[in-house]
Homo-oligomer: A and B are copies of this chain.
Amino acid sequence: MDAFLQAAIDEAQQGLDEGGIPIGSVLVHQGKIIGRGHNRRVQHGSATLHGEMDALENAGRQPASVYRDSVLYTTLSPCSMCSGAILLYGIPKVIVGENQTFLGEEDLLRSRGVQVEVVQDARCVELMRTFIARSPELWNEDIGE
């Protein structure tokens, strides 16, 4: 297991333990995690802090040069908002834990030159499958459905 994907899964698990949506993310610059986070819809009543957004927010203000030399790890295929943030900051590479329970804007990202790798990690799938089965309304709220 890639240690950075494992860190994103740890964030997802922490979110679940807090009663939240189990999606986690880390932003990695030159081999070091500079931001990590997880979905905060339940914990902060947040409409914008998806896992990826929370990782970006926790990385703080960074110059373009940092983003453009970074990799974003996320346990789940990034939605349009998080994909838009990836495009805004010119993050060149995204490692996706799984896209079986939700397929985000991977095609848009690739069409703009972002390298997207999907791992299909069994633990990422299981976290989301179990959560969606238990809390379908919360999940639908998170993806605007």
- Interface residues in chain A, defined as those with a beta carbon under 8 Å from any beta carbon in chain B: 41, 45-49, 53, 56-57, 59-64, 67, 79-85, 87-90, 105, 108, 140-141, 143-145
Copies in the complex: 2
**Contact of B48 with A48 in the complex, beta carbons under 8 Å:** yes
Nearest residue, chain B, Cβ from A89? B144
Smallest CB–CB gap between A80 and chain B, Å?
4
* B47, B67, B82: the one within 8 Å of A62 (CB): B47
Residues of B within 8 A of A84 (CB): 79-85, 87, 105
> Closest approach, in angstroms, between the C-beta of A20 and any C-beta of chain B?
12
| A41 cross-chain contacts in B, Cβ below 8 A | 61
Q: Are B88 and A60 in contact (CB under 8 A)?
A: no
Q: Which residues of B contact A61 (CB under 8 A)?
A: 41, 45-47, 141
Partner among B56, B60, B83, B141 whose Cβ is within 8 Å of the Cβ of A64: B141
Q: How far is the CB of A70 from chain B (nearest CB, A)?
A: 12
Which chain B residue lies CB-closest to A27?
B47
Q: Cβ of B45 and Cβ of A85 under 8 Å apart?
A: no
Partner of A46, one of B57, B85, B89: B57
With A48-B48, A79-B84 as known contacts, state yes or no: A141 contacts B63, CB within 8 Å.
Answer: yes
Q: State A87–B62 Cα separation when bound (angstroms).
A: 26
The list of the 9 closest CB pairs from A to B, nearest first, reads: A84-B84, A80-B84, A80-B87, A81-B84, A81-B85, A89-B144, A81-B88, A48-B57, A80-B88
